[in-house]
Amino acid sequence: MQIDSADYLDERRSKVAPPVRMLPRPTENFTNQVIALDKASDAVVHSGDRDGPKIVVIQGSPGIGTTQAALMLAHRRADDYPDGQFYADLGSRTGESAALRNILGDFLIGWGFAKNDLPDSTEARAGWFRSSTEGHAVVMVIDGASSAEQVRTLLPGPGRSMVVVTERAPLSDLCVTGAVTFVELHPLGNAAAELLLTRIIGLRRAEAEIDAVREVVRRCIGLPAALAAAGSLVRRFGDRPIARLVEALRDEQRRLQVLSPGTGISLAALFNAAYRRLKPMGQRVYGLLGLEPGTDQVSLDLIRYLTGLSADEVRATMDELIAYKLAEEPFEERYLVREWIRDHTPTTLETRERELLSTRKFRYYHDGLLAAEEVVAGRRGWRQLFFPHLAGWPDRFAADQDAAWAWLEAERANLLACIEFAAKRQWHNEVILLNLLLFPLYEKGKYDDELLSASALGVGAAVATENHGVHSVIRSQCGYAYRDRWELDKAAAEFAEAVELALRVNLDIAEGTALEGLGLTFSDQGDKPGAREALRRNHVIAMASGDDRRLAIACLLLARVEDPERAFPLLDEAARLFAGMGQDESVNLAKVTTCGGIKLIEAGLYEDALEPLNYALRVMDEHGRWFDRAIVLEALGDLALAQGDPARAWEQYRLALTIYAIQQFDAQAEHLRRKLDDQE
């Protein structure tokens, strides 16, 4: 007779042993995760007495609360499994073989076997447990499994059973065992996070300092362990205002340390444990992911630059981090690192290594921006004027404007972080350079908030270096941002200040730039005489500059505020100059055509206006110039209205309004809404 046969084991097992109840209770503060728990519970359906065990694997990043979610699920379904409740804590045990042997011993003793009767080996105990639980309905939680083999060793026998597992390492190999459901936990929303913190610190305390409580919630970013650590600190230092904790959490360099006290819940300990489980290459790359400067996204190309690894090596290493829930890949070869993990990663590096790598990371973005700007705006001139030693930067984009623009868009947030990084270190010339290089991106995308944030630091750097010429240019860039936002008084003030700064150093090119913006702003304000004066002065400066591109732009802008008779020769000159540039100027030529169509409408030449406006619309569509597309659509609406077709005008206005609204050009949208209201 086999000693692990069901009949033999049934004889040895106590018939009076009470049902096994090994499951710990989940914390009374457990909050939310309703969707994940419902998905897990719904997946566990048994079609017969031998249909099981069904396995649910709860996944999530460190501190997300997988253990508590597993316990909550097990207790929620406990009534469906009346024969026994088992719990195995693998995360706190050392020595895998001994740990499994001891856990199985605890299971068998709880199941009714005498300790002295148990077989010695892990394999034999696993066999006893499977055989003796066959046909029974039990629920089990395996906490902190690091391999599929560990889970298989602890599984009960065939029956209507449920096994809930939390991962300490990826368990995708478990799929070969049978029906496995993987459920991933996500950070709590603000409401659930506030409820969790309130449960920990008490309703009265939370209500008394509700604003501080809500800021703690925001700073904890939905991570249950962070909220628990914060709540523990509030309770431990009950006499301190919560605002004091808020102040500490505002410091991104300190907040991980603040929520990792020497006793109790420690975020750093959670992340340290996850870090130690990585392979050496994974640990090396992990340390780079949260380095300054930057945001929550890093590219494969950046990791290659910092490590010297091949693309395949980076992919394999990042796949390991993704499997451990330490990173995500929302877009191909772009990796997302959540905020708390980003705080922790640099702590795995020595201080000097961290500083060297941060500087190297800054250089990656700095050099990439120089190369991209050379391709998309190499004729703009500010780099050549203020930083002549950086002219003609090596082209890493093979003169491919689309590739350069795509890189700029993808790295936009990281590039702004580089300006902040340089400003913090008082690298004034780098702050100035990056401001000048980023303007084409900000102008094209109408990223006005980012432009103003960058420009505030740029102005500070220009003042610190007493560089009035640069100061003038950056003030003009601010003026364009305010003009886009339709804050016209602020825009006019910025442009006027830029003119004065340029005059101090007799820098005509900067004066002309400021006059361009001032003239356009006066036009927006309905001050046609002021607009003409400013733009005519700019036209004179442009003619004396010897710069065909600058003159072409000056002609175009002046034409916008002149009467049609004066405007048409200016537009012809602008078109001639743009066409002779020797590079793709299709967008600027379409802007000339748009202005020409508008002037034809003003001159009453309605039939002649339709073709150039339709051409301009096609070009703006092809180049993704949404703001310019809306301007053309509005002009087509004006044309339809002038031709006595209000229905067609309404259609064009609505299309333009949709673009303004989606792209968040609020002032332009409001202006067009008023125009639509006038037509009703």
Which CATH topology does 268-349 take? Arc Repressor Mutant, subunit A (1.10.10)
Asked whether 277 and 167 are in contact (CB, 8 A), the reply is: no
| pLDDT for the residue numbered 666 | 81
Query: Which residues are CB-contacts of 27 (< 8 A; sequence separation ≥ 6)?
Result: 68
- pLDDT tens digit string along 122-133? 999 999 999 999
| pLDDT for the residue numbered 264 | 67
- pLDDT tens digit string along 617-641? 999 999 989 999 999 999 999 999 9
pLDDT at 95 over 70: no
List own/partner pairs for 302-310 with CB under 8 A and 24 or more apart: 302/361, 302/364, 303/335, 305/360, 305/364, 306/357, 306/360, 306/361, 306/364, 309/281, 309/285
| pLDDT for the residue numbered 322 | 95
Range 281-304 average pLDDT: 96
pLDDT at 103 over 60: yes
| Structure tokens that stand for 345 in this block | 């990663």
pLDDT at 443 over 50: yes
What proportion of the chain, given as a percentage, has pLDDT over 70?
Answer: 95
Superfamily of 6-184 according to CATH: P-loop containing nucleotide triphosphate hydrolases (3.40.50.300)
- pLDDT tens digit string along 483-542? 998 899 999 999 999 999 999 999 999 999 999 999 999 999 999 999 999 999 999 999
CA dist 193 and 195 (Å) reads 5
Range 663-679 average pLDDT: 81
pLDDT at 572 over 70: yes
| pLDDT for the residue numbered 384 | 86
Average pLDDT, the chain: 91
Q: What is the residue whose two structure tokens read 């980003």? A: 342
Q: Quote the Cα angle for 163-164-165, to 5°.
A: 115
- pLDDT tens digit string along 167-209? 988 998 888 777 799 999 999 999 999 999 999 999 999 999 9
Q: Structural domain boundaries of the chain?
A: 6-184, 190-261, 268-349, 588-680
| pLDDT for the residue numbered 1 | 40
| pLDDT for the residue numbered 16 | 59
| pLDDT for the residue numbered 94 | 57
Which CATH topology does 588-680 take? 1.25.40
pLDDT at 26 over 70: yes
Range 22-32 average pLDDT: 86
Helices (H), 145-279: 148-154, 190-201, 203-208, 210-220, 224-236, 242-250, 255-258, 267-276
Identify the weakest region by mean pLDDT among 242-246, 616-620, 676-680. Answer: 676-680
